[in-house]
Amino acid sequence: MFLASSPTRARTRAASIAIVSPALEHGNRGRPGPGLVTQIASYFELIWDEVDELKRLAQLSHPRVPVETGGLSPKATLFANLLAKHIHELDEATLVRMLAEMGYD
């Protein structure tokens, strides 16, 4: 059995994340359910803070995001519509800047 700190286990973990992540983040798969997240955490023998981070990322990972702007200002609705229409045009630096503005870094 491999230990969590084993170099082989770390390479396996990195390879699995590299394979699964693009499928999730590019809309080829839906949001992973809590059962799958628990299985992944168990398989990789993740410690509790890694499990919490994995759960947080799973909750944020949704390829088709509905945005409810009812009751918000017309500018909020305009922003949501423009973002949906033009998100593919945003470069990485702009995305990083917008995420930092919202408290995600």
Give yes or no for residue 77 having a pLDDT over 80.
yes
The values of phi and psi at residue 59, to 5°, are -65, -35
Measured between its terminal Cα atoms, the distance across the chain in Å is 35
Q: State the Cα–Cα distance between residues 52 and 61, nearest whole angstrom.
A: 14
Residue 44: pLDDT band (50, 70, 90) is confident
Give yes or no for residue 5 having a pLDDT over 60.
no
Q: Which residue has the higher pLDDT, 43 or 13?
A: 43
Q: Tell me, what's the pLDDT at 54?
A: 85
**Average pLDDT in the chain:** 79
Residue 1: pLDDT band (50, 70, 90) is very low
Q: State the Cα–Cα distance between residues 88 and 21, nearest whole angstrom.
A: 18
What the block records as the tokens of 39 is 């299985």
Q: State the Cα–Cα distance between residues 4 and 49, nearest whole angstrom.
A: 14
